[in-house]
Structure 1
Amino acid sequence: MRAGAGWSLLQESKEAGREAARLALRELEQPAVLFVFTTSCYKQEEVLAGVLDETGDVPLVGACGAGIITPAGIFNEGIAVLALAGDRIKAATAITWFDDGDPWDVGKRLGKKLLAGSRASSGLVAVFPDGLASGITEMLQGLYDIMGPGFKYAGGGTGDNLRFIQTYQLTEKCVASSAVAAAIISGCVFGISVEHGWKPMGPPLVITRARGKVVHELDARPAFTVYAERLGGVELEKMPKMGLEHPLGMPNAMGRFVIRDPMQVLPDGAIELATEVPSRAVAYLMHAKHSDLIEVTQRVAAASLSKINSPAFALLFNCVSRSLLLKDSELEHKIYREVFGALPFAGLLTFGEVAAYNDVPIFHNKTLVAAVGGAF
C-alpha cells in the first residue's frame, strides 16, 4: 500500500482542489480512496469538481473545517488531500442528512448504507458530521449499533470557521450540509489515539437540569451562577474566554473525562454547550496548562504510530478551540513532523472529534485524535 498527501493555498476553488489532488497523486498510479479537507473560504462544489478532475470517480470522503493540517504547516485557509492506494485497499462512502429523522435513526441508516457498499467486517469508519447538528452522540450510537465493534472510528465535526451558519460534508457524489459523511476503509490496519489533557478542578457538580445542549441548572441552581462562583466570580462579558479555558468534564466508567465546551450564557442564566449532556450527570470544571496540551500532542501522535508495525500514513483531527488555546501551530506542526517523519499525513481543525476510548465512538470536544494506518 502507498499513500500521498497534497495541499493547496490557491484562492480559486476549483484550481485549489485540482492542485491538492494532483500533488497527492504524484507518486500513486490508481488511488483507492481520498480524504479531502477544506475551509469555508472556498466554493465547496468547485473544490470537489477540481479534485474529481484529477481522480475520476474514486471513493472520497471529506469535510470543511477551521483549518487544515499538512506536512507543510497548519493553515487557516487551504485544501488538503490524502490519497491511499493498494490492491487490498477497499472503500465505500455514504452520506445521510440529519433532517431525515431522529439522530439514532440517522446513524443506523448511515451504517446500513456503508455496509451495503462494502463487504468489510473490519477497518476504519471515518465519520464527519455537521458540527452544528443536535444529537451527534446519539447518531454515533446508532451507527455503532449497525457497524459493531469490528471497526475503529475516527473523524470530526465539520464547521465554517466559527461563523456557525452552514457546514459542509463531502463524498465523491456530492457536497452536503446538515448531514454526516462517512467512509469504510478496509485492507489495512489502524492505530488510533485520543486524548485532551484537561484535568478536574474542585469538587464535582451535578447537572440537575439539562435539555440537549443547554444546561439549565448545576447543583439545583442556575448554571451560570454556580459556574461563576466556582471560578471566583466571572463577569458575563468575560464568559467566552473563561468558557474556552474552563470546559466541563464528565467522567465515564473507565475514569476518563469527556469534555464539553461552554459556548454562551442564555438570558435565564443557562449555559449552552457545544454538545449535548444528560441530566443527572456528574461534571467537573476543568483546567489545563499550555504545557499539558503540548504534551498531549506528542503523546497522541507517538501512541498512534506505536500501534502499527508498518505505518504508511496518518490522519489528524484537532479541535479548533484547542488550537485557539495553544496559539502555537508551528510548535504543534514541528511535533507532527518529528513523530511522523516522512509519512504522508493530513488533518482538519474540527468542531468536535470522533473517536472511542474503548469500542463505542464518542463525540469529544477540545480533543486531539490521531489515526495511523498501515499494511497488515
Structure 2
Amino acid sequence: MLASQPPAHLFVDTSGSCEGLFALLGRALEYGAKSLLVLAADANNFTPVQLDARLQALPIPVFGGIFPEIIADGQHLKRGSLVCALPIVAQVHHIDALSDPTVDYFTDAETLKARTPPGATLVTLVDGLSKRIAALLENLYEVFGDRYRYIGGGAGSLSFTQKPCLISNQGLRVDCAQITALSVPISLGIDHGWHKFAGPFFVTGAYDNTITALDYKPAFEVYRAVVEADSGKQFGTDNFFDLAKAYPFGLERLAGDVVVRDPLFHDGNKLVCVGEVPPNHIVYILKGEADSLLEASRRCAQRTQTDAPPLIGLLFDCISRTLFLEARFIEEVNNIHQALPSGLPLVGGLSLGEIADAGNTCLEFFNKTAVLGILSSEEQGT
C-alpha cells in the first residue's frame, strides 16, 4: 500500500544565529512536520552548549548535520541554517565510536536492521573526520544489502578539527554515524568528472585514512613530484590543499571506474585523506577541468529523473568541488536545481565525502563527487 504525501516544506535562515535556527524549528513544528531534517553551515560556530537543550526538547525526530557549507533551495550558503519539514516519520539511529579500531560495526548494523522497515531509504550521515568510515559502510551494506537505498555524506569542518557535527534529538554528536530510515523510495544520480592523469601506483603502505608509501617510496614524495611537475607550483608550509584540490587520488575498482579520495594534508611524508585508503590497492592521481566537472553535474541530475511524485531533492556535493570550481560552482548548483521538477525543494550539504550505492555492489564513500537523490512522496506501507 502506498500513501502519497505532500512535498517537504523548507524554512531557511541566512543569519547563522542560534535564534534564527530556533525560529525555523518553531515554524516547522507549527507547520505540522512529522520529522525534521536540519542542515547548518560550519561558519555558524554552533556548539552543544548552544543547541543541545533545544534539540532534546523537540517532540518529533530530527536528523542532519553541520557542513562546511549548505544548499538551501538552490542557494549556496556559507553561513546559515535550513529546516526541512517532512510529512513522514523518520527513524533515527546512531552508531558510535567511528574511529575506534576495536569496535565491531557488524553487530551494531544487525541490531539496527531489526528495527528498520524493509526497503527503506537510509540517509547515512557520518562525522567526515572519523577514521573508520569505510569499515562502517562495509558492515552496513553487508547486513542491509541492495534491498535498501542509501544517500548521505560526511559532516564536519574545513578546519579539519573534529568537533560535534551531527544533529539529533540527543543534541550535537561527534565521531559517529547517523542512519535515518525513511519509508519512501529514492532515485539516485552519482558522477564526478575526474579522469586518470598519473599512475597506476601501488599502495605499499597505508592505515585508516593515511597513505604512507606508494611503490615502496614515501607517499608525499611521489605525490609532490607529480603535482609540482604538472602545476608548475611548489608545496609550501600552508598551501597543500590549494594545490591538492586539483589532484585527487582515484581508487581502482573492478569495473574500471575510480572512486575519488581527497588528500587533506601531509604529515611529513604521509598523506592524510578523507576516508580510508586500503593497502595493497591500485591508485591513480586524477585531474579534472571545470567543464568536465560541470558536465558531470548535468549527468548526475539527468539520472535522477523519475515518474514518482517527488518529496524533496537531496544533494551531497563535495566541498572540494566548490573550492575547485570557485565562481563557477553556482553553475553546478543551477545544473542540478533546474533539472528538478518545478517547485521541488533542493537541499544539501557541501560535504567531507559522499555516500551512496553506486550499483548494487557495495556502499561507497566518495570524495569530490556529486550525489543527488530525489525522494518520492509515496510512502511505502506494509
What TM-score results when the alignment is normalised by the length of structure 2? Answer: 0.87
Q: Is the alpha carbon distance of 1:294 and 1:99 closer, same or farther for their aligned partners in structure 2, counting shifts above 3 Å?
A: closer
Q: CA deviation at 1:219?
A: 1.5
Q: Alpha-carbon deviations, 1:276-328, whole Å to 9, x = none?
A: 11111111110010011111222212322x13532221111111111111113
1:312 aligns with 2:314: no
1:172 aligns with 2:174: no
SS at match of 1:202: strand
- Paired residue total: 363
Structure 1 partner of 2:25? 21
Structure 2 partner of 1:59? 61
Q: Alpha-carbon deviations, 1:331-364, whole Å to 9, x = none?
A: 2332233122310121111111111111221111
Structure 2 partner of 1:368? 370
Q: Alpha-carbon deviations, 1:61-116, whole Å to 9, x = none?
A: 1111101101251101111122221xxx4421112221695476236415523642
Structure 1 partner of 2:358? 357
Structure 2 partner of 1:194? 190
Give, in whole Å, the separation in 1 of the partners of 2:40 and 2:216: 43
Equivalent residue for 1:43, pick from 40, 43, 46: 46
Question: Is the Cα–Cα contact under 8 Å of residues 100 and 106 in structure 1 kept in the other structure?
Answer: no
Question: Is the Cα–Cα contact under 8 Å of residues 100 and 132 in structure 2 kept in the other structure?
Answer: no
Question: Is the Cα–Cα contact under 8 Å of residues 162 and 174 in structure 2 kept in the other structure?
Answer: no
Give, in whole Å, the separation in 1 of the partners of 2:160 and 2:132: 20
Q: CA deviation at 1:169?
A: 1.0
Give, in whole Å, the separation in 2 of the partners of 1:271 and 1:136: 17
Query: With CA pairs under 8 Å and 6+ residues apart, which has the higher RCO, 1 or 2?
Result: 2
SS at match of 2:301: helix
Structure 1 partner of 2:77? 75
Answer with 157-166 or 249-258: which moved more.
Answer: 157-166
Give, in whole Å, the separation in 2 of the partners of 1:103 and 1:373: 36
1:121 aligns with 2:118: yes
**Gapped runs of 5+ residues in structure 1?**
none
Give, in whole Å, the separation in 1 of the partners of 2:72 and 2:102: 32
What letter matches 2:137 in structure 1? L
SS at match of 2:186: strand
Give, in whole Å, the separation in 1 of the partners of 2:336 and 2:145: 31
What letter matches 2:104 in structure 1? D
Structure 2 partner of 1:288? 288
Cα RMSD of the aligned pairs, angstroms, is: 2.4
Structure 2 partner of 1:150? 147
Give, in whole Å, the separation in 1 of the partners of 2:313 and 2:325: 22
Give, in whole Å, the separation in 2 of the partners of 1:101 and 1:324: 31
Answer with 100-109 or 308-317: which moved more.
Answer: 100-109
**Gapped runs of 5+ residues in structure 2?**
none
Structure 1 partner of 2:339? 339
Q: CA deviation at 1:19?
A: 3.2
Give, in whole Å, the separation in 2 of the partners of 1:126 and 1:338: 23
1:205 aligns with 2:201: yes
What TM-score results when the alignment is normalised by the length of structure 1? Answer: 0.88
Q: CA deviation at 1:16?
A: 1.8
What letter matches 1:136 in structure 2? I
Q: CA deviation at 1:23?
A: 5.4
Equivalent residue for 2:12, pick from 7, 11, 14: 7
